[in-house]
Structure 1
Amino acid sequence: MRRALLSRAAPMAAALLALALPAALAGPFHLRFLAEILLLGTAVMSLDLLVGSGGLVSLGHAALFGTAAYAAAVAALHLGGNLLLVLGAGTGAALLLAALMGVAIMRSSHLFLLILTLLLGQIAWEVAFHWRAVTGGADGLRGLPPLSLGPWRLDGPRALFLLAGGLALAAHALARSFVAAPIGRALVGAREQPLRMSALGYSTARIRLRAMLAAGGIAGAAGSLYPFLNLYVGPQSVHWSLSATMIIMLVIGGVGSLWGAFLGSAVYLALQTYVSAYTDRWQLFVGVIFVLIVLLLPHGLAGAAARWRRG
């Protein structure tokens, strides 16, 4: 019993320490950079629920993330930056879109699912780009009010980092519970043996819908906080290219490993931020690393770390 409790407490203690050290030591730029890693990593982790457990590769996941970001930004501009209001508006909008996407992909798979999610994501981008009265069009939305919770302002880099870290921990716990729950196991079964699952009385369409709702809710919560890192949100946040970037992050970190999503986002954003300061061809480095990961580490960095830990 004591060993089981220690094995559960150790990862949580390590995660809290990983949040406490940067919060105490890092400067404003690095705190915002780490917050971006945590928020995008949370969105990538939600994508892993679909890809890793269900084999449902989506090119429309950025639409969930970006729609939440827009909804949160619009709510903040009109009603103020209350944290609970912003989270509720963004997550609710993402859940609504996830329900629509889930209904559309309930009976799709493989290439048809990929194309369908791409088209749905492109529709979301068209709305964000052309509905200038609400979304600001190509200029996006700027000048957002700072986040607040009651009398406390949450606009400083340290507060935003801790918010992102708290959200990442809560989202990871929720995603882990989903994977371990019967619905998560049924999702894996629907991926591996869809005919057998149907013969046993399971509705693969409903399983996929529930998975999309879970992924949409987590991605929406992350997207709700994302605009407040730079007090801006633009149409690139819903573009399919961001969905492709999330897939790259997921593969680098390790498909099927929830915490690997944060590794993948950290590697990608570090290359984007630091290598791009020296060359415009930073994406070449991303491509090389991606190919090496696929060839040499098919389970990603998280899989390699797990093998190293086991000896």
Structure 2
Amino acid sequence: MNNKYKYWPLLALLLIAVALPHFTRGTQTEFAIEILVTGMFALSLNILIGRLGLISFGHGLFLGLGAYLAAFMLRHVAENLFVLLAVALLVGVMVSLLVGAMVLRLGGVGFVMITIAFCQLFYVLVLSTQAWSGGINGISSIPRPSLWAGDGVPDWLSLDNGITFYYVALLLLIALLLGLKRLDASPLGAVFSGIRQNPMRMRALGYPVRRFQLIGFVMAGSVAAVAGSLHASLFSLVDPALLFWTTSGEVILMVILGGIGSLYGPLVGAALFLALFHYLGALTDHWRLVLGMIFVLMVLYAPNGLVPLLANAWRRWRRWRRPDLRRPGAEAVPTLTKEGGEA
């Protein structure tokens, strides 16, 4: 494919995404926003799994942290979106720095178990503090933030407007994707990749592996906290189930389904998971059985995930359509006649 056509598919998807809220109404727009926000959450976890090889079953801790922080901010402090996002990012950095410094001392199964323990610890803490967290009932009636503070704010400047909320989430998602793409192409991304493949070798080469793992852990936690603040704003509700370990398990499924090694895989996995949850869940209570069957089939026949599977199928189709691409890297070799000239 010529370079001038290389980004056409992404441009087409971007144009569809920009136009989408003008063709949806009500709950359809909210569902699209939920995909964008959950996609951010899945992309944040892929910083750990896909770039550092760290499997965390406690990533829901940071989603819940951002959600409860948003509930407190929007109800008692300020309804300005930029203040909310800045505070969520800052608190996410501080908490993930503290948690990461403790949990990264262990590796392998120990890391998995300690992240579950931290997540469950915060879950129990929320349930036991009824006065400020709402306990098992959570916090409801959370107002949505605005792009501009003050009374008499126009409708399009408030996230009460579904289209405005959609574009805010879309811009944040695009910024995250661009940031991750830049990370993968940077020296830091190369170090992350080396740690994922062989941390002992990187340590032998003189790299402070735990320090770089902590950097990635803070990146992942802060992005998840921002996603949590948007999640609470979207549903006007914070449920303590966000802090339960099953939330972390579900987002791991999203990452695996979409493709751990793919930039866009977690976003596709989040969309697939939510579609099964909303549409199959309305038809049957056994939608998780369908999800389990899909997951087994993916592990058996597409272990790298859905996005790499589709990318490989696209490349094979292009090679079939264009004979010059059937042998990658092959060049035409001139045929020589008996006299030594070219045929």
Q: Against the structure 1 CA distance between its residues 12 and 307, is the aligned structure 2 distance closer, same or farther, given a 3 Å change threshold?
A: closer
TM-superposed deviation, 1:92:
2.0
Matched, 1:98 2:96: yes
Residue of structure 2 in register with 1:234 after alignment: 239
TM-superposed deviation, 1:279:
1.1
Cα distance in 1 for residues equivalent to 2:185 and 2:105: 24
* 1:169-180 equivalent positions in 2, closer than 5 A: 169-180=174-185
User: 8 Å contact 2:62–2:92 — kept in the other structure?
Assistant: yes
Q: Which deviates more, 192-201 or 37-46?
A: 192-201
Q: Against the structure 1 CA distance between its residues 200 and 18, is the aligned structure 2 distance closer, same or farther, given a 3 Å change threshold?
A: same
Residue of structure 1 in register with 2:60 after alignment: 62
Q: Which deviates more, 21-30 or 127-136?
A: 127-136
Equivalenced residue count is 308
Cα distance in 2 for residues equivalent to 1:95 and 1:148: 24
Match among 141, 144, 157 for residue 162 of structure 2: 157
* 1:70-219 equivalent positions in 2, closer than 5 A: 70-150=68-148, 151=153, 152-219=157-224
User: 8 Å contact 1:62–1:240 — kept in the other structure?
Assistant: yes
Matched, 1:263 2:261: no
TM-score of the two chains, using structure 2 as the length reference? 0.86
Matched, 1:278 2:276: no
Cα distance in 1 for residues equivalent to 2:52 and 2:135: 35
Residue of structure 2 in register with 1:22 after alignment: 20
TM-superposed deviation, 1:267:
1.0
User: 8 Å contact 2:88–2:222 — kept in the other structure?
Assistant: no
User: 8 Å contact 2:144–2:234 — kept in the other structure?
Assistant: no
* 1:233-252 equivalent positions in 2, closer than 5 A: 233-252=238-257
Cα distance in 2 for residues equivalent to 1:180 and 1:50: 17
Which amino acid in structure 2 is aligned with residue 194 of structure 1?
A: P
Which amino acid in structure 2 is aligned with residue 62 of structure 1?
A: G
Which amino acid in structure 2 is aligned with residue 224 of structure 1?
A: S
Q: Which deviates more, 87-96 or 293-302?
A: 87-96
Which digits, 9 at most, give the CA deviation of each residue in 1:251-273, with x for residues without a partner?
A: 11111212111111111111111
Q: Against the structure 1 CA distance between its residues 131 and 175, is the aligned structure 2 distance closer, same or farther, given a 3 Å change threshold?
A: farther
Contiguous gaps of at least 5 residues in structure 2: 317-343
TM-superposed deviation, 1:4:
5.0
Q: What percentage of residue pairs aligned between the two structures are identical?
A: 33
For the pair shown, the structure with the greater C-alpha radius of gyration is 2
Cα distance in 2 for residues equivalent to 1:285 and 1:65: 26
Cα distance in 2 for residues equivalent to 1:122 and 1:11: 42
Contiguous gaps of at least 5 residues in structure 1: none
Which digits, 9 at most, give the CA deviation of each residue in 1:116-142, with x for residues without a partner?
A: 111111112122222222221111111
